[in-house]
Structure 1
Amino acid sequence: MKITLTSSRLVKPAYNGNPPLKPQHVPLSLFDKVACKDHVGAVYIFSPPTPSSENIIEGLSIVLSLYWELAGRLGTDDMGNTVILLNDEGARLVEASADVDLQNVLTSQPSKDIESLYPSIQGVKELAQVQITRFTCGSLLLAFTADHQVADGHAITNFLVAWSQATRGISMGSVPLHDRGILFKPRHPPLVQYEHRGVEYITKSYSTSSISCNDHQAMNVTIHKVHFTKEFTERLQAKASYGASKSYSTFETILAHLWRVITNVRCLPGHETTHIRISVNGRRRMNPKVPNEFFGNLVLWAFPHCKVRQLIAQPLQFAAELIHDAVRKVDDSYFKSFIDFSSSGVIEKEALVPRTTLNERVQSPNLEVHSWVTFPFRQMNFGTGKPDCIIPGYLSTEGELFFIPSCTGDGSIDVYVPLFLSNLDNFKKLCYALESKY
């Protein structure tokens, strides 16, 4: 496959009349500061007929007039704090063409080739980037990346839906809420009810000494896409919920199943502890609730954990209950405890840094999971229909899972599972084994 770049430009906000009154910059919130400092993205695939590049670009300039942070740059204020400069310098948009049909690129399993369909993120100053690639079959692939310090997945999906609405020339609905510096004030007096050291924050010395793998290990990782049909998931849920006082969600059930399967194929010592790092959206968990339109980061993490031998020996319901209880505990009191802790001055005093600075390329014996299942991707319609397929970036960190709603639209779930190549065959054998103890 040959990709030819045909243009690269900065798309700036197009204001209808005078620009809105806004500050010169906004500080990163406490939640922005613990988010990873990387560009995160996905690709969205549209079958022909597809919208024109001119309409997509015009829609982008319109939506940036509301989501102005994505047209800005990171900088510092007079106190040396990292801020988002609201300077309207624009988002990067690259146009490209491929010399093949899309079906020659998209295989049944993830391929590293997809990286060539993204704009480069090396040393990039733009906070949002787009690459539009057109294929000989008429299909369009839209790759989007954004700096995670600016917004979480929920907020970025709101932006993408609004962008598609602007492209179609219809109302973008609710406007984004920008008050990231006002919503998360500490309480007086503060009340730190939970331990946040080792959870959201770690010491600098731990950050620099805790490399969990070497380059050779990381090179032997492959990404395997698992397709869970609605029928299979319902059977799995019935197994997990049998005799329980509650029914476990699709996410809890599939994750519990994968946790046990992956732990088994890793052949870990029974006495070792394994945990999952699960992103938890705080918008509906905080009291009062934070509007869904809030644009920024509002995510903390749950950490269900267990000894390896116990996780494998106990039934599926045991793992589902661990996950359910851990996520439930990341509630209003936990979010407010985090705010009070992060505002107390202890971060600076103890030289703590966000846990996300670890940047581990191998998670074993643990997992990290990102669920995009509830994001309204299918509302992305740039004028010619919904996306046929959504694919996360090729992130080959062993044990870092992505849950994606299947584009079949029938309730099926796709999970992208990076594994050591040596574990792949055993994983395939156990992944759909409903009748076994795994």
Structure 2
Amino acid sequence: MPPSMSVSTSSSKVSSCSQFVTVVSKCTVFPDRESTLGDLKLSVSDLPMLSCHYIQKGGLFTLPNHLSLPSLLAVLKKGLSRTLSRFPPLAGRLTTDADGYVYITCNDAGVDFVHANAARISITDVLSPTDVPDPVKEFFAFDRTVSYQGHFRPILAVQVTELADGVFIGCAANHAVTDGTSFWNFFNTFAEVCRGATRVSRPPDFSRDSVLISQAVLRLPDGGPKVTFSLDAPLRERIFSFSRESILKLKGKVNNRKWTENEGIDVIELMGKQSNDPLKNFLRNSNAKAAEISSFQSLCALLWRAVTRARKLPASQTTTFRMAVNCRPRLEPKMEAYYFGNAIQSIPTFASAGDVKARDLRWCAEQLNKNVLAHDDRMVRRFVEDWERDPRCFPLGNFDGAMLTMGSSPRFPMYDNDFGWGRPVVVRSGRANKFDGKISAFPGREGGGTVDLEVVLAPETMAGLESDSEFMQYVSGC
């Protein structure tokens, strides 16, 4: 696609899509250079996501003083076109060959760019309510679109929504093509390019030579897979914020230590998303360090206990806490840090409701800690072999009423994006992949170890969580 055709000239006026947000226009943006990248085979970490919704995340920004809205849209379209040349898979489409293998064809087919208006909504309207307000869900394209549809629809869509005093830049990306690491690398590169960068600081790696690339075939039903959770169940969604101080206190309690304000959150955090082999080897050889529970595991244990109490589960019922872990640093040899695609596996930790409620925070955190430390190269390969024996889509949901699924990561650089007029005021997500028990961890805007938990629960469970004194004592402002 030649540079002169990097943005299509066609656009359409669209009627109001909700009582809050009106789609003003829509066009296709193409890469500013023709792709030379060949087809990329979906891996055993990509293929299970074909039944999941597109990832929907984005940032709320104040309005730039130096740009009119038409100029702002032009900057974003041009920057997106240039960024797509660095991320050719996002401008492609999914294809399935005669043998059933699914590929990303980097054919420069382009992405959707949507301009929407929500002039009756202000930044305060987004930030001030207790629950995440419904209009936020309209700040994203491809609402509840299943990733398999990437065979027929763009792999990426960018929606720019005008607010009364701000602008929301939301991206919807096919989850069979990107995980959180790849998504935020694209989003931050998009911002970097819009600021005028000629070289990106974190070039993506498109290699397909790891153990994740398999000869196993995922057989899909006619028309493609469906999501495995209810789309109509009543839910509440709330952001719970945790300050540096409260997390230090929580970690101190879990580790039976007194922490000071001068002490770091974790010199090297034992999070599934970021743990690395040297750290793991060090911990295995150090009884003192191996006994230490990370701040994030402490926070997960706190939530696990509180939600289990709020659900009023019988003591004999098995509860499950799932955590997504990054396989890139766990494999031997390690994958590139910015490998583009999914390189995640879901680790379940099981415990009876009676144990979760009766035992202390440290015990719950230890169960999570042991599973994270055990997920090494051998375990990653075992998960791959298990999937190859039974290729399947990922069963996302809360099937027995006793599950929690932790996604995203407070280590993702969600606030390290500046399109030319400052960092986001806040990061939010859309309606995608939301069900009772889905939790997403975000960094707090202040940094320094602050964490925001996006918690989605049944209304009666959320009410119980809000009245849980052990949990709420650590929540900022409560």
The TM-score, its normalising length taken from structure 2, stands at: 0.78
Q: Residues 147-158 of structure 1 correspond to what in structure 2 (within 5 A)?
A: 147-158=174-185
In 2: Cα distance, 1:289 partner to 1:87 partner: 29
Find out whether 1:112 has 2:134 as its counterpart: yes
**Which range moves more in the overlay, 43-52 or 366-375?**
43-52
Find out whether 1:136 has 2:171 as its counterpart: no
In 2: Cα distance, 1:20 partner to 1:86 partner: 7
Seen in structure 2, the aligned counterparts of structure 1 residues 361 and 10 have a Cα distance that, compared at 3 Å, is farther
Seen in structure 2, the aligned counterparts of structure 1 residues 27 and 265 have a Cα distance that, compared at 3 Å, is same
Find out whether 1:407 has 2:445 as its counterpart: yes
Does the 8 Å CA contact 1:73/1:87 hold for their aligned counterparts?
yes
In 2: Cα distance, 1:303 partner to 1:289 partner: 23
Does the 8 Å CA contact 1:392/1:402 hold for their aligned counterparts?
no
Find out whether 1:5 has 2:5 as its counterpart: no
Seen in structure 2, the aligned counterparts of structure 1 residues 224 and 186 have a Cα distance that, compared at 3 Å, is closer
Seen in structure 2, the aligned counterparts of structure 1 residues 175 and 11 have a Cα distance that, compared at 3 Å, is same
In 2: Cα distance, 1:70 partner to 1:381 partner: 21
Does the 8 Å CA contact 2:26/2:112 hold for their aligned counterparts?
yes
Let me know the Cα RMSD of the aligned residues.
Answer: 2.8
C-alpha displacement of 1:417: 1.4
The TM-score, its normalising length taken from structure 1, stands at: 0.84
- Find 1:242's aligned residue among 252, 256, 262: 256
Which residue is 1:335 aligned to? 380
In 2: Cα distance, 1:12 partner to 1:66 partner: 12
Which residue is 1:285 aligned to? 330
Q: Secondary structure at the match of 1:408?
A: coil
In 1: Cα distance, 2:435 partner to 2:29 partner: 32
Aligned residues: 401
C-alpha displacement of 1:96: 1.5
Find out whether 1:365 has 2:393 as its counterpart: no
Which residue is 1:47 aligned to? 62
Which residue is 1:380 aligned to? 417
In 1: Cα distance, 2:177 partner to 2:230 partner: 29
Does the 8 Å CA contact 2:45/2:212 hold for their aligned counterparts?
no
Q: Residues 9-408 of structure 1 correspond to what in structure 2 (within 5 A)?
A: 9-15=27-33, 19-23=34-38, 25-35=39-49, 36-49=51-64, 52-100=72-120, 101-108=122-129, 109-121=131-143, 122=145, 125-137=153-165, 139-170=166-197, 171-180=199-208, 182-184=209-211, 218-219=233-234, 221-242=235-256, 245=288, 246-343=291-388, 346-347=389-390, 352-354=391-393, 356=394, 358-360=395-397, 364-394=401-431, 396-408=434-446
In 1: Cα distance, 2:20 partner to 2:229 partner: 36
C-alpha displacement of 1:281: 0.3
C-alpha displacement of 1:278: 0.6
C-alpha displacement of 1:263: 0.3
Seen in structure 2, the aligned counterparts of structure 1 residues 80 and 304 have a Cα distance that, compared at 3 Å, is closer
Which residue is 2:12 aligned to? none
Gaps of 5+ in 2: 1-18, 258-286
Q: Secondary structure at the match of 2:124?
A: helix
Seen in structure 2, the aligned counterparts of structure 1 residues 99 and 294 have a Cα distance that, compared at 3 Å, is same
In 2: Cα distance, 1:371 partner to 1:185 partner: 20
Does the 8 Å CA contact 2:185/2:202 hold for their aligned counterparts?
no
